[in-house]
Amino acid sequence: MENNKIAVGLDIGTTKIVAMIGKKNEYDKLEILGIGKAKSLGVKRGVVSNITQTIQSIQQAVDEAESVSGQKIDDVVVGIAGQHIRSLHHSDYITRNNPDEVIDENDIDNLVNQVHKLVMLPGEEIIHVLPQDFKVDSQGEIKEPKGMYGGRLEANFHVVVGQVSSIRNIGRCVKSAGLDLSDITLEPLASASAVLSQEEKEAGVALIDIGGGTTDLAIFKDGIIRHTAVIPFGGNVITEDIKEGCSIIEKQAELLKIKFGSAWPGENKETEIVSIPGLRGREPKEITLKNLSKIIHARVQEIVEHVYLEIKNYGHETAKGKLIAGIVLTGGGSQLKHLRQLVEYITGMDARIGYPNEHLAGDSDEALSSPSYATAVGLLMEGLDREDTALEESVTEEEIVASDEDTVDENEVEVKPTKKRKSFFEKFTERFKEFLDNAE
């Protein structure tokens, strides 16, 4: 069955907005048809701070992607991050009316819906309810309770919470740019699907996505997401520090960071000096690379320690929670020289840089496998998987109709539909769309 479905990932970041159009080739790899990016002016720390500018940047990125690919973009999968995202652990249970029947989808849905009713702080809404493990009656650590008998179904949940207004603002920007929201995803989850392998998720791994405005963390163990956090600073604060510390303008500070910056201060000699042209007839400034890397080191150390604290809070130091695969660094900020060594030094865990090339078709442009595009690639994958699910569902429905026509024994027909259950996100997206429509 030829599947020419295309999807679009829209990564609304603090530094840049990326629109990526792609489809799956016959080997089930991503073929990227076009990419557009625009400087992101209206976003601070992952949160929209200027609606008009964000709409313009989204339109600019989308127009560029359309002209490169020759495709028309109607709906997009958007990622949300930002300093307002927090996560918590919660366990809940339901008592089943009829313990003589086996546990099915509906029981799990009832339990999840019950968690959705938790009372949050004013202005917050639950974005994700992710079950970790289940307990039936008194038997614990069950991965999949479907088909079991039991009166009481209990589960531990990882609950991700965000600010309603911030999420609505992103929805508003996307709508005003003339696009439809087909799905909305937590950015660390998108980056994770782009750069992590299944083995790493099983063994236990922490994904650190260092963006311009925020650093996102997602922790996996036994193939399940265990912890998420968004730390409200990223690469931009490093640039800011260089700007302040060396009294230069932001553009120069950013260039210095990219070209000469290093997170490890030991290796620069005192004699290595960069000269920066002064503003409007002023004397040029001379900056030693040692000082530059000291400034960078101090700030990067702070970011990494923050993240490491979250990893420890999750329980990395317990025998059960140990992250065997260590740390994967991605995002634009992960390209800083010697960052990997510094992370290994601070955390004592193995680290690697995550490139989103595992899922890309072999002939993809080299530039696309840069860690800066990890989130966009992940969002695109999410969009394509969504299309696949929709296709599968329509196929299975046809099968059911066909099998109804031949008068088969009813019990057989019941087994046929393998309709995939809606992910928590799809339910959330549906609620979110209603929410947007009502707001207008």
Task: Specify if 193 maps to a domain.
Answer: no
Q: Going edge to edge, which strands form the sheet with 124-136? A: 86-95, 152-163, 124-136, 139-142
DSSP letter at 371 equals G
As a whole number of angstroms, the distance between CA 359 and CA 356 comes to 7
DSSP string, 377-421: HHHHHHHHHHHHHHHHHHHHHHHHHHHHHTT--HHHHHH---PPP
Task: Specify if 21 maps to a domain.
Answer: no
As a whole number of angstroms, the distance between CA 328 and CA 351 comes to 6
Query: Structural domain of residue 243, as residue ranges?
Result: 235-297
Q: Name every residue whose Cβ is closer than 8 Å to that of residue 142 and which is 6 or more positions away in sequence.
A: 133, 134, 135, 136, 148
As a whole number of angstroms, the distance between CA 326 and CA 200 comes to 9
Q: Name every residue whose Cβ is closer than 8 Å to that of residue 303 and which is 6 or more positions away in sequence.
A: 210, 215, 231, 233, 234, 237
Give the pLDDT confidence score for residue 412 in this predicted structure.
Answer: 41
Rounded to whole angstroms, what are the CA distances from 297 to 208, 293, 308, 407, 420? 17, 6, 16, 73, 48
DSSP string, 322-362: --TT-EEEESGGGGSBTHHHHHHHHH-S-EEE--TTTTB-T
The reported pTM is: 0.84
Query: Rounded to the nearest 5°, which phi and psi values hold at 320?
Result: -75, -30
Task: Specify if 280 maps to a domain.
Answer: yes
Task: Specify if 47 maps to a domain.
Answer: no
Q: Find the CATH number of the domain harbouring 285.
A: 3.30.420.40
Q: What is the pLDDT along the chain (440 residues), one digit of tens a residue?
A: 345 788 999 999 999 999 999 998 888 888 999 999 999 988 988 899 999 999 999 999 999 999 999 889 888 999 888 888 888 889 999 999 888 899 999 999 999 999 998 888 899 988 888 888 899 998 988 989 999 999 999 999 999 899 999 989 999 999 999 999 888 888 998 999 999 999 999 999 999 999 999 999 999 999 888 898 899 889 999 999 999 998 899 999 999 999 999 998 877 677 888 988 888 888 888 999 999 999 999 999 999 999 999 999 888 788 888 999 999 999 999 999 999 999 999 999 999 999 998 888 877 788 888 999 999 999 999 888 877 777 776 666 555 544 444 444 444 434 333 344 455 555 666 666 666 666 55
Give the pLDDT confidence score for residue 409 in this predicted structure.
Answer: 45
How long, in residues, is the chain?
440
Task: Specify if 95 maps to a domain.
Answer: no
Tally of helices (H runs) and strands (E runs) in the chain = 12, 18
Give the pLDDT confidence score for residue 128 in this predicted structure.
Answer: 82
Give the pLDDT confidence score for residue 3 in this predicted structure.
Answer: 56
Question: What number of CA atoms fall less than 13 Å from residue 188's CA on the CB side?
Answer: 30
Give the pLDDT confidence score for residue 278 in this predicted structure.
Answer: 83
DSSP string, 50-66: -HHHHHHHHHHHHHHHH
How buried is residue 123: exposed, middle or buried, by Cβ count under 10 Å (0-12/13-18/19+)? exposed
Residue among 235, 219, 380, 394 nearest 311 (CA):
219
Task: Specify if 289 maps to a domain.
Answer: yes
Residue among 374, 432, 59, 363 nearest 187 (CA):
374
As a whole number of angstroms, the distance between CA 311 and CA 217 comes to 9
As a whole number of angstroms, the distance between CA 87 and CA 281 comes to 52
Task: Specify if 113 maps to a domain.
Answer: no
Specify the number of domains making up the chain: 1
Task: Specify if 32 maps to a domain.
Answer: no
Query: Rounded to the nearest 5°, which phi and psi values hold at 70?
Result: 70, 15
